[in-house]
Amino acid sequence: MDKKNFGDLGTYLTEIYNEHNIKFIPIIDAGIAQRAPTVEDYPAYNAGVEQDVFISSGAPNKYNNYVSQFTGQVWAGDAAFVDFTSTNGTEYWSG
């Protein structure tokens, strides 16, 4: 966690709950938008391809013929998802 910007987050959340009954629900948008590297350079996707951290579908997709990735839909469109059971999936995500 970023201690500089969010060091007192727990205290803040407790205070707004106690004072205003506001609840905090964290959401992680785990989809990484798929963008063809030849069309648009998207470092988050390209790094995931290079590190081979995305969930495999067992078939080539339209974004990357040499990596078989599962393609799902998120608010931004087509997305790949990190396989957190892979050797470097957690390292990629935390980077």
> For 11-67, how does the pLDDT look when each residue is reduced to its tens digit (9 = 90+)?
888 998 899 998 888 887 789 988 755 546 788 888 998 898 999 877 666 665 655
Cβ(62)–Cβ(50) under 8 Å? no
Identify any residues that bridge with 33 across adjacent strands, giving them in sequence order.
Answer: 79
Q: How many CB atoms lie within 10 A of CB 89?
A: 19
Residue 40: inside a domain, yes or no?
yes
Determine the structural domain holding residue 81 and report its residue range.
27-94
The β-bridge partners of 77 are: 74
Is the overall model pTM greater than 0.75, yes or no?
no
Q: How many domains does the chain have?
A: 1
- Cβ 63 vs Cβ 36: under 8 Å: yes
Domain membership of residue 21 (yes or no) is: no
Q: Is residue 18 part of a domain?
A: no
